[in-house]
Amino acid sequence: MTTLLTGHSPRRTRPLRIGLALSGWIALAAAHLLPDASVPRLIVVCAFLLLCPGAAATRWSGPSPWPVGGRPFAVESAFLPVVLSLCLDVLVVVPFYLGGAYGTTPVLSTLAAVTTLLALLPVPDRRRRAEPGAEPPDGRTGDAAPAGKRR
């Protein structure tokens, strides 16, 4: 049986997952406890809104098709969490805005809950297992040549 593993070891990602799970609640506490328009409040809340929901959602995406050490992987690693964060922010803010319940507390608490769920729930198993004697997905069997290539 061949097993192709993707992702990092759970021991290395556990502190990141816990940090992501707590980040929204820290941003919510900063929004309530720090004075309005203060620089620390702005930094904490904006960093959460721009990075954390997307970073938690990135765990659920598949592996990169590029080599791990290459430049495309670095670009993907930098921009995918930002783009996913902005998408999740919009998906949470719009219903509150259209429902007339827009405010800092409901939006941040919803985003904190979504981020916590995405960070703490286990990622679906991405291992592909090839059983001995199993057919490939395209319907060919074993080492036989494709139908058009037989002599």
Q: 88: part of which helix (H) or strand (E)? A: helix 71-98
Contacts of 90 (CB under 8 A, 6+ apart): none
Rounded Cα distance between 143 and 34, Å, is 66
Secondary structure (3-state) at 19: helix
* DSSP label of 32: H
DSSP state of 147: G
The residues facing 120 across adjacent strands are: none
E-assigned strand segments in the chain: 2-4, 128-130
Beta bridge partners of 4: 128
pLDDT, tens only, 117-135: 999 998 776 555 545 555 5
Cα 86 to the center of its chain, rounded Å = 12
Q: What is the pLDDT of residues 48-89, one digit of tens each?
A: 999 999 999 988 876 555 555 556 677 777 898 999 999 999
Using the predicted structure, report yes or no on whether residue 36 has a pLDDT greater than 70.
Answer: yes
- Confidence check: pLDDT of 136 > 60: no
